[in-house]
Amino acid sequence: MENSALAKTTSVDVLIEDWASDKDAFKNVSWGKAMMWIFLLSDTFIFSCFLVGYMSVRMTTAEPWPNSSEVFALTIMGEHIPLILIAIMTFVLITSSGTMAMAVNCGYRNQPKQAAILMLVTAGFGLCFVGMQAFEWSKLIEEGVRPWGNPMGAAQFGAIFFMVTGFHGFHVSIGVIYLIIVALKVLRGDYEDRGYEIVEITGLYWHFVDLVWVFIFAFFYLW
Amino acid sequence: MENGSDVQGQQQHPISLYFKVWGLLFVLSGFSYAVDYLQVQGELRWALIIIFMFLKAGLIVAVFMHMVWERMAFVLAILMPPLCILVLIALMSIEADYTYFNRLFFFND
C-alpha cells in the first residue's frame, strides 16, 4: 500500500495536478525546505558559471596546463604519492556527508541528542577539510602559485584554483558555523515542539557542499 | 513505513540504505582516485571521470538529499533549471575554440 502511495506522488499525473492546483504547488514540502532547495539551485548556477569559466580558460590557453597530479602530490614517509592530499580531502568530505545523513535520520527518529552530536561530528570533519585546504593553499603559495601566474605552466591556473577552491572552502566554513548553531539549538530544545526537519534542511546545505566538491574534484583535479 | 515519506512529508528511511550509499560513495571515490593513480589517459580517462562523477552526484542528490522520495512537481522544479547550463557550456566551448584558434594564429609568429 505504501509503495502504491509513493508511486502516486512521484508520477507525472500528480505533477500536473500539483501545478494546476492554483496555490501551494509543492505539497507536503515545508517552506524552509523549499527555500533551502531554491537557494541551492541559485548556488548551483554560481558554481556552474565558475566551472564553465574554467572550461573556457583552459580551452583557450596556448600554454600547457599544469599537471594537477604532480602539483598536488605529497611525499609521505619518503613515498611520493600523486594527488594524495586531494584524495584525503575527498574522503573526509564524504565521511562528513555520511555522518550528516545519520544526523538527519536521528532527528526524524526523535533522538535530538544523537542528532546534535552527529552534526557536531560533521562540523568537525568540515573543519578538518578547511584545515587541509589552508595547508594546500599555503603550500602552493610557497611554491610561487599566484592568481596571475605560476612556475608550472598556464598563468590562468592560479586564478581558477584560488577562485574555485576558495569559494568552495568559504561554503564549507559557513556550513560548519551553520551546523554548530543548529546543533546547539537542537541541544537547547528549541525544536521540541516543531520537530526536527531543521536537521534535514541543514543537511541539504551540507550535502550540496559535498556535491559541488564532486564536480570540482572531477573537473579541476582529475581532468 | 518501509520505503517512503509519510503524510507529514517526513523523510524516514532505513538506516541500512544510508550505510550502503555511504559505502558506495567511498568505493566510487576510490575508483576516481585510481584513475589518476594508475595514470589512465586519453578518452578512457575522461569517460571514467565523468561516469564516476555522475554516479556520485546522483547518489548524493537521490538518497542523501532525498530527491527520490520527493513529489514529482518539486523534483522537476529543482532539477530541470540546471539543464540551461548545457546551453552555456555549448556556447562557451564554441567561443573558446575560436579564441584558441586566434591565439595560435597570432601568437605563433
Per-residue confidence (pLDDT) for residue A4, from 0 to 100: 58
- Domain boundaries of chain B, sorted by first residue: 1-70, 71-109
A 9-28 residues inside an 8 A Cβ radius of B:
9-12, 14-15, 18-19, 25-28
Report residue A216's pLDDT band, with 50, 70 and 90 as the boundaries: very high
B 11-70 residues inside an 8 A Cβ radius of A:
11-13, 15, 18-19, 21-22, 25-26, 29, 32-33, 35-37, 39, 45-46, 49-50, 52-53, 56-57, 60-61, 63-66, 68-70
List Cα–Cα distances, A128 to A41, A125, A136, in angstroms.
26, 5, 12
Boundaries of domain holding A210: 31-222
Helix (H) or strand (E) holding A35: helix A31-60
What pTM value is reported for the model?
Answer: 0.89
What CATH number should be reported for the domain holding residue A180? 1.20.120.80
ipTM of the assembly? 0.88
| Residue A184 belongs to a domain | yes
| Residue A108 belongs to a domain | yes
Which of A2, A11, A29 is opposite residue B2, by nearest beta carbon? A2
Query: What are the grid coordinates assigned to A82, written together?
Result: 600523486
CA gap A112, A177 in Å, rounded:
19
What confidence tens digit (pLDDT) does each residue in A41-99 have?
A: 999 999 999 999 999 999 999 888 998 888 888 888 778 888 889 999 999 999 999 99
Which residue, A169, A185, A179, is CA-closest to A204? A179
Question: How many domains, chain A?
Answer: 1
CA gap A185, A121 in Å, rounded:
15
Q: Which residue of B has its CA nearest to A20?
A: B73
Query: What are the grid coordinates assigned to A111, written together?
Result: 533522538
How would you write the pLDDT of chain B (109 residues) with one tens digit per residue?
Answer: 334 444 445 677 888 899 999 999 999 999 999 998 888 888 999 999 999 999 999 999 999 999 999 988 899 999 999 999 999 999 999 999 999 999 988 887 5
**Cα A71 to the chain's mean position, in Å?**
23
Alpha-carbon torsion (A3, B27, A163, A159), positive or negative: negative
CA gap B35, A82 in Å, rounded:
11
| Residue A19 belongs to a domain | no
| Residue A208 belongs to a domain | yes
**Cα B4 to the chain's mean position, in Å?**
24
3-state SS class at B90: helix
| Residue A67 belongs to a domain | yes
